[in-house]
């Protein structure tokens, strides 16, 4: 049902609100049923309006004002209000009409100020939405972003949602109206704000991380400075001690020369080994070969020899002796490597005695019940000589280092401002005791140490402090030690005493050059005794443990196989002393210095270079008949003889020797 709106009543309400200072922000919009730009308030019910106003009604709305709506505008507003929304052009039209009002208007009879009414009824325009920039869309957003204050940024907004589900990033109200952008522009704005805030957040995290790194590096640098200071103090203390050492320059010079000697030694070749090889190369009685001249080319490893072959029996001149020499050389092998103790530490060469005084290696022959025998080669380890027991030398060095550390500790304690961490008396005592315990567990004891232990004495006690009973007991222990030695061991001990070694410190130990199969193999597989100590052992694949022994560099290999309950051991060797045949340059019938018939010859033998190299230690020649020979100068005594002379023209017996002629054909 259509009714004419009571505009006089509406004007009266506005006048009263204006006088009270409570004009609503969107009074005219509410009166006309137009929504605010934000669209949050629901549209009022459509108000039916007459198409025209009488002059009296227009005067009542705004007496003395030119802001009265024309008939078309009124009808359009009423139509849009009926739909519940206001078109942008209508809002602009209203703004244009209201802007024509004068700046100052006197109140009408009812006391209504026309300017206030216009301000109360004006609608937000596009200029309000873009804040007067005149730009639209994303360009308007960028203009606004320039004026935003970074303090409005809320980091927690990155992880929170607004009341409508959107990301709550930057909040704030610029005017009394809340501005909503076009949905597409607002979406772009939110994305841009998220990106900006994320970049700022990541930047803050990165700065914090680098700040932490800088702090850590600062602490490291400070720690290094403290460490450097401590080491500097230690170096200064050591420098003072070294500077006080007399003959420092001579010592350094000698040390440099010793370093050069090592490289020279690696290139050296040993001539003495030639004689050891000749011992197993040249046959002896009844067939024998003696040399009258020998030229050795160490670089090429060749032996040019002149000599005579004697068959030993009639007809004496027999070419088979020389032929036997040629063939036996192809069966001669050699071996080299190192000696190691029970802990697999290398024993220095100077600590090993491998030759008998009369020449030849030490050999032990084991006789079995079935009539067979086995020979094993061994050497003597002069264990008590300085530096010959690595385990003892290491413990000696540890004890010396501890004493040095104690001295530096005492010096640092007296120095003011030192930051060196000092050892306590308890730590020093415990560390020293630990070294002493290892001495007792792993370092050998001589016969004298055993006697001291039995009599509850120590090496700190002087011999003169012993009573008569102790002295008699000591003499008996000395006699027992000597009598229990073998004849060859007594000779070695006597030589060591002559060199100035104290008999109380002497200890020699047998070390096997070839395995002692009979004692080392354990059929039950046990390798330790009841106390857990390692037993000297060898397995069927030739692995040796728990015993001082010779470790081949790869030439000599051992293996065993059980046959009818008995282990049969075999030895293989791939290192040939000469890989080339003997070249017989010439031969002739001759008589030796005593007038005997011999075969004079000249031959060339080529040896393997590794067999002569100094860096290959403990080289041993192994002959075809099982003899084992190491370096010895004494062995040349029976190798050389005066040169034989060719047969004279009148010596028909010598000239007509058929055996030699057959041999040369």
What average pLDDT score do residues 100-111 get?
44
The counts of H helices and E strands in the chain are 21, 18
Q: In 634-648, which positions are buried (b, 16+ CB within 10 angstroms) versus exposed (e)?
A: ebbeebebebbbebe
Report the range of poorest mean pLDDT among 104-118, 288-302, 330-344, 482-496: 104-118
243 within domain boundaries: no
d(CA 627, CA 360): 9
Tell me the pLDDT tens digit for each residue of 52-82: 445 444 444 444 444 444 444 444 434 444 4
How does residue 185 score in pLDDT terms, banded at 50, 70 and 90?
Answer: confident
Q: Give the whole-angstrom CA distance, residue 312 versus residue 310.
A: 5
Tell me if 626 is assigned to some domain.
yes
Residues 6+ apart with CB under 8 A from 371: none
Provide the strand spans (E) within 298-422: 302-310, 333-335, 337-340, 352-353, 362-367, 373-381
Q: Classify residue 518 as left (phi > 0), alpha (psi -120 to 50) or beta.
A: alpha
CA 309 to each of CA 52, 312, 369, 512: distance values in angstroms, whole numbers, following the listed order: 159, 9, 40, 36
For the segment 370-394, the average pLDDT, to the nearest whole number, is: 85
Residue 242's pLDDT band, with cuts at 50, 70 and 90, is confident
Asked which of 177-181, 244-248, 341-345 is least confident by mean pLDDT, the reply is: 177-181
Residue 14 located in a structural domain: yes
Alpha-carbon span 520 to 515, nearest angstrom: 8
SS3 of 242-262: HHCCCCHHHHHHHHHHHHHHH
Question: How distant, in Å, are the alpha carbons of 208, 349, 620 from that of 158?
Answer: 19, 79, 85
Looking at residue 567, what is its pLDDT?
Answer: 87
Mean pLDDT within 467-475: 92
Q: Is residue 118 part of a domain?
A: yes
Other CB atoms within 10 Å distance of the CB of residue 282: 21
Q: What is the mean pLDDT of residues 646-651?
A: 85
Question: For position 537, what pLDDT does the model report?
Answer: 92
Q: Are 309 and 599 in contact (CB under 8 A)?
A: yes
pLDDT of residue 4: 46
Residues paired with residue 586 on neighbouring β-strands, in sequence order: 602
Res 355 pLDDT > 70:
yes
Q: Confirm whether 290 is domain-assigned.
A: yes
Tens digit of pLDDT for each residue in 280-289?
A: 888 877 788 8
pLDDT, tens only, 211-220: 889 888 888 8
Residue 221, C-beta contacts closer than 8 angstroms, at least 6 positions apart: none
Question: Does 613 map to a domain?
Answer: yes
Contacts of 480 (CB under 8 A, 6+ apart): 447
Residues 447 and 344: their CA atoms lie apart, in Å, by 25
Evaluate whether 602 touches 306 at the Cβ level (below 8 Å).
Answer: yes
Lowest mean pLDDT of 144-148, 283-287, 363-367, 386-390, name the range: 144-148
pLDDT at residue 644 greater than cutoff 70: yes
Q: Pick from 87, 103, 124: which residue ends a domain?
A: 124
Give the pLDDT band of residue 9 (cuts 50, 70, 90).
Answer: low
List the alpha helices (DSSP H) in 581-647: 609-612
Residue bearing tokens 């060199």: 499
Residue 576: pLDDT band by 50, 70, 90 thresholds?
A: very high
Please check the confidence at residue 123 and state whether its pLDDT lies above 60: no
When pLDDT is cut at 50, 70 and 90, the band that residue 18 belongs to is: low
Please indicate whether residue 498 or residue 253 has the higher confidence score (pLDDT).
498
The token pair at 588 is: 């002739």
d(CA 330, CA 580): 8
Joined tokens for residue 405: 């550390």
Average pLDDT of the chain is 74
Residue at which a domain ends, from 124, 158, 173: 124
> At residue 100, does pLDDT exceed 60?
no
Tell which of 98, 124, 150 closes a domain: 124
Instruction: Residue count of the chain, please give it.
Output: 665
- Does 528 fall in a domain? no
Residue 353: CB atoms within 10 A of its CB come to 18
Task: Report the alpha-carbon distance of residue 382 to residue 394 in Å, rounded.
Answer: 17
Nearest to 475 by CA among 460, 455, 498, 497: 455
Q: 561: Cβ–Cβ under 8 A, 6 or more apart, which residues? A: 540, 567, 568, 570
- Burial class (CB within 10 angstroms; exposed 0-12, middle 13-18, buried 19+) of 170: middle
CA dist., res. 185 & res. 46, Å (int)? 32
Confidence of residue 353 (pLDDT cuts 50, 70, 90): very high
pLDDT, residue 8, reads: 57
Q: Which has the higher per-residue pLDDT, 497 or 123?
A: 497
Q: Distance between CA 40 and CA 124 in Å, rounded?
A: 14
Give the ranges where 50-113 is alpha helix by DSSP (H).
55-61, 71-83, 88-98
- pLDDT tens digit sequence for 579-607: 898 999 998 888 888 888 888 999 999 99
* Percent of residues, the chain, with pLDDT higher than 90: 20
pLDDT at 434: 87
Range scoring the smallest mean pLDDT among 31-35, 222-226, 269-273, 644-648: 31-35
pLDDT at 462: 80
In degrees rounded to 5, what are phi and psi of residue 145? -60, -30
Q: Which domain holds residue 98?
A: 7-124
Q: How many domains does the chain have?
A: 2
At 655 the pLDDT is 81
Which pLDDT score, from 0 to 100, does residue 105 have?
43
Confidence of residue 296 (pLDDT cuts 50, 70, 90): very high
Predicted confidence band of residue 497 (pLDDT cuts 50, 70, 90): very high
Does a structural domain hold residue 309? Answer: yes
- Residue 517: what pLDDT? 86
Q: Is the peptide bond before 123 cis (omega within 30 degrees of 0)?
A: no
Tell me the average pLDDT across 167-192: 62
pLDDT, tens digit, 9 for 90 and up, residues 533-566:
788 999 999 999 989 999 999 899 999 998 887 8
pLDDT-derived band at 508, boundaries 50, 70, 90: very high
Residue 32 has pLDDT above 50, yes or no: no
């Amino acid at each position: 049902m259509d009714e004419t709106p009571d505009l006089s009543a509406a004007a009266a309400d506005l006048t009263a609100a204006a006088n009270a200072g409570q004009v609503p922000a969107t009074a005219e919009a509410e009166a006309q049923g137009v929504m605010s730009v934000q669209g949050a308030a629901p549209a009022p019910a459509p108000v039916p309006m007459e198409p025209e106003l009488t002059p009296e009604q227009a005067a009542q709305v705004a007496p003395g004002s030119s802001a009265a709506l024309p008939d078309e505008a009124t009808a359009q507003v009423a139509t849009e209000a009926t739909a519940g929304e206001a078109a942008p052009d209508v809002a602009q039209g209203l703004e244009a009409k209201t802007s024509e009002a004068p700046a100052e208007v006197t109140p009408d009879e009812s006391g209504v100020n026309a300017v206030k009414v216009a301000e109360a009824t004006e609608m937000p325009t596009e200029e309000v939405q873009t804040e007067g920039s005149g730009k639209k869309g994303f360009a308007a957003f960028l203009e606004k972003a320039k004026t935003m204050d970074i303090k409005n940024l809320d980091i927690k907004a990155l992880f929170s949602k607004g009341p409508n589900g959107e990301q709550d990033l930057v909040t704030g109200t610029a005017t009394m109206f809340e501005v909503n952008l076009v949905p597409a522009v607002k979406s772009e704005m939110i994305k841009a704000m998220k990106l900006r805030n994320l970049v700022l957040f990541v930047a803050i995290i990165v700065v914090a991380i680098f700040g932490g790194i800088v702090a850590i590096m600062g602490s490291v640098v400070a720690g290094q400075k403290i460490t450097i200071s401590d080491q500097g103090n230690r170096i200064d203390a050591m420098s003072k001690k070294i500077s006080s050492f007399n003959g420092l320059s001579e010592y350094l010079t000698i040390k440099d020369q010793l370093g050069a000697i090592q490289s020279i030694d690696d290139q050296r070749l040993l001539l003495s080994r030639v004689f050891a090889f000749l011992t197993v190369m040249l046959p002896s009685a009844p067939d024998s070969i003696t040399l009258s001249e020998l030229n050795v080319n160490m670089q090429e490893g060749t032996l040019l020899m002149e000599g005579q072959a004697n068959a030993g029996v009639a007809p004496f001149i027999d070419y088979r002796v020389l032929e036997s020499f040629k063939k036996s050389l192809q069966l001669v092998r050699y071996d080299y490597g190192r000696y190691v103790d029970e802990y697999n530490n290398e024993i220095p060469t100077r600590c090993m005695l491998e030759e008998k005084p009369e020449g030849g290696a030490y050999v032990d022959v084991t006789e079995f019940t079935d009539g067979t025998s086995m020979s094993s080669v061994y050497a003597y380890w002069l264990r008590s000589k300085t530096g010959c027991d690595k385990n003892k030398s290491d413990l000696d060095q540890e004890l010396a280092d501890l004493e040095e550390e104690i001295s530096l500790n005492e010096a640092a304690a007296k120095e003011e401002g030192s930051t060196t961490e000092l050892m306590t008396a308890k730590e020093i005592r415990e560390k020293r005791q630990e070294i002493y315990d290892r001495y007792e567990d792993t370092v050998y004891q001589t016969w004298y140490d055993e006697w001291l232990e039995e009599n509850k004495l120590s090496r700190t006690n002087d011999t003169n402090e012993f009573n008569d009973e102790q002295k008699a007991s000591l003499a008996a222990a000395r006699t027992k030690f000597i009598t229990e030695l073998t004849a060859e061991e007594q000779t070695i001990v006597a030589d060591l005493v002559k060199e100035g070694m104290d008999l109380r410190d002497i200890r020699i130990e047998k070390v096997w050059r070839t395995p002692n199969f009979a004692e080392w193999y354990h059929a039950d597989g046990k390798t330790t005794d009841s106390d857990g100590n390692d037993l000297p052992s060898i397995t069927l694949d030739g692995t040796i443990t728990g015993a001082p022994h010779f470790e081949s560099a790869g030439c000599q290999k051992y293996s065993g196989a059980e046959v009818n309950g008995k282990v049969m051991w075999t030895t293989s060797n791939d290192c040939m002393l000469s890989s080339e045949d003997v070249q017989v340059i010439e031969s002739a019938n001759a008589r030796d210095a005593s007038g005997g018939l011999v075969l004079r010859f000249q031959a060339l033998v080529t040896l393997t270079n590794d067999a002569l190299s100094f860096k290959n230690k403990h080289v041993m020649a192994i002959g075809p008949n099982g003899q084992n020979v190491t370096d010895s100068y004494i062995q040349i005594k029976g190798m050389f003889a005066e040169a034989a002379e060719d047969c004279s023209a009148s010596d028909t017996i010598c000239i007509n020797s058929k055996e030699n002629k057959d041999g040369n054909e």
